[in-house]
Chain A
Amino acid sequence: MTRTRGAAIAATTIAGALLLAACGGSSSSDSSSASSDLTGSILIDGSSTVGPATEIAAELFMAQNPGVAVTVAVSGTSGGFEKFCLGETDGNDASRLIKEEEIIKCDEAGITYDNITVANDALTVLVNAAAPVECLTVAQLNAIWGDGSTISTWGEIPDLDVPADFASTPLALYGPGTDSGTFDFFTEAINGEEGSIRIDYTSIGEDDNAAVTAVTGDVGAMGYVPFSFYQEAGDAVKGIAVDGGNGCAEPTAENVQDGSYSPLGRALYVYASGTALQKPETVAFFDFYINNSAQIAEIGGYIGLTPAQVTEQLAKVASLAGQ
């Protein structure tokens, strides 16, 4: 390009950057709730399953408390725990409970903590909308997904009535990667032991959207995803009801909250550290998170806390803060 044109583009770049930086001061949020005097900063890291909920909580909280800067990172539950147990973060989003090795590290560093349940989740088993099945028992799911299973067509699923023309459809199994908390939870709930699963399922890696895509495209496919992905999945897939011993329960918020969608209903946590809860803004944030869980769940596709859970978690925060 000619010298003048190149110089013009260069000038535009610099001007644009300066302009952006200058616009920095003004906030563009349009909600004007009662502002409080709280100031400070909060850093929460951890799971990519719980992270989105924390982001929503952070945004809503900051709308009411503009003096507090909440940032949310997503290094994964274990990366987050590592930072949490070094005191580098104020909270850790976790889709699983803290493990032995991590407990040791936190104790060594003198970090006190507790797990605050911030939302509920329903692990949903997805099948194609055209698949002729509405409900599966845990035993059937175990037969399909368990270690050593050789079931390869729909007709081989025990105790399942499928139309004759569907019986020979190959069963294609999709699940999250072995590094995922969703994987751990599902295998423990259905197969009895964390990490116990048949060796030939197709792992979808990091992005749960891929499981939805896979099931949408194949009438014989089956996968399992967190609730928010089922919510947004559309009509090409359906979440089947699971019979955990008390009859078929559909994956809905009510069924998770009253416990009938078992064993695939789970809690999502944010671990809070005692040190962080010495700061009033952190206490306020966690209280806000718990109290507004219904609204947050609505926006993010999660399932809100029951009133009993709300009381219990608020008490946990209070006791940890009082230390």
Chain B
Amino acid sequence: MSTQTVELGASRSGEPPRSLEAPSLRIGERIIKALLWSAATLSVLVTTGIVVSLLIPSIAFFQQVPLWEFLTGTVWAPAFANPSYGVLPIVVGTLTVVFFATLVAVPVGLSSAIYLSEYASPRVRRIVKPILEVLEGLPTVAIGLFAFAVLTPLIRQLTPFLPWTGPFSIGVAGITVGLLIIPLVSSVSDDAMRSVPADLRQGAYAMGATKYEVALKVIVPAAISGIIAAFVLGISRAIGETMVVLLVAGAGSPVLSFDPTKGTQTMTAYIGSTATGDIAQGTITYDSIFAVGVLLFLMTLAMNILAIRLVKKYREVYD
């Protein structure tokens, strides 16, 4: 008998050592693995399609408009007689929406999730969670109409000290988008927290920790990767939201504005309204849609790379 490391089967008549896994993948196993692989690679196909359909017309665009002017100009008016292609106003619009959306969705979503997973009884959970999911399913058209008709006047009444003019507001649009993504953040965080192994929870209680200590100091850190995934999903959704911002923020004016009480256009609103509007295809104005689309794509890419790094740093694996 050899003195190698112990391996099953090695002791018998010099057969090659066998691993613990089942012997070489069966045909069925291979097919399944191939099928699953192709499901995953479908995403690459989709991205390629998106990049191709966006990139080609935007190349035509950038041949006419210098990249520098696009990225640093502060007036976005591609359809004016005197066109101006500085993209910053709509970028700021998008970022304003994301800012307010995060401001609303992160605390509310996270606290809903913590409450539902740690404090609420199973019966309360079973009733409340579906109610939140209804919010997710309402058409964004309806939520936008509601925000325009009800939420904006309400917030205007609550904050008379702000210089409100006109019926549009990008700040309110951001808040509405925040409300929209609460179920997303809450559901995914809640599932993440529920999946933390029970012995961690029980151990903490056994050590005398109070409920809030368990929730905030044990469970949340343990589930942080899922919670960050929930945030990233929510913020991605906020960046990409089109209908609500169209209805609640109007399109503002072409100049750069940081004022949350006024209407401003976001990148998605611009793409949405121009794609379904009356501007002729094949013109440089229409091609600006694709340039904005490419910029949007790159922005979300940067954010996601950052988020993946964050998750890797803080993820804990139990068991």
Contact = CB atoms under 8 A, between A and B. Distances in A.
Interface in A78-129: 78-79, 81-82, 94-96, 99-102, 104-105
Interface residues of B, number: 39
Given A75-B276, A147-B81, A184-B278, A199 B246 contact: no
Contacts of A76: 275-278
A178 B280 contact: no
A217 interface: yes
Interface in B159-213: 165-168
B81 A196 contact: yes
Interface of B: 75, 77-83, 126, 148, 165-168, 246-247, 249-255, 262-263, 265, 269, 273-283, 286
Interface of A: 1, 47-48, 74-79, 81-82, 94-96, 99-102, 104-105, 147, 172, 174, 177-181, 183-184, 187, 193-197, 199-207, 210, 213-214, 217-218, 221
A277 to B, nearest CB: 24
A177 B273 contact: yes
DSSP class of B's interface residues: helix, strand, loop or mixed?
Answer: loop
A179 B274 contact: yes
Contacts of A218: 165-166
A102 B280 CA distance: 7
Nearest to A185: B278
Nearest to A79: B276
Contacts of B148: 210
Contacts of B281: 78-79, 81-82, 101-102, 105
Contacts of B82: 147, 195-196
Contacts of B78: 178
B251 A196 contact: no
Given A102-B280, A179-B279, A204 B253 contact: no
A101 B57 CA distance: 15
Contacts of B282: 101-102, 104-105
Contacts, number: 133
B166 A214 contact: yes
A193 B82 CA distance: 10
Contacts of B167: 210, 213-214, 217
B166 A200 contact: no
B253 A179 contact: no
A178 B269 contact: no
Contacts of B252: 202-203
Contacts of B280: 78, 81, 99-102
Given A202-B253, A206-B273, A1 B126 contact: yes
17 contacts: A1-B126, A47-B278, A76-B278, A101-B283, A102-B281, A172-B166, A177-B277, A187-B81, A196-B82, A199-B75, A202-B252, A203-B265, A204-B251, A204-B263, A205-B168, A205-B263, A207-B247
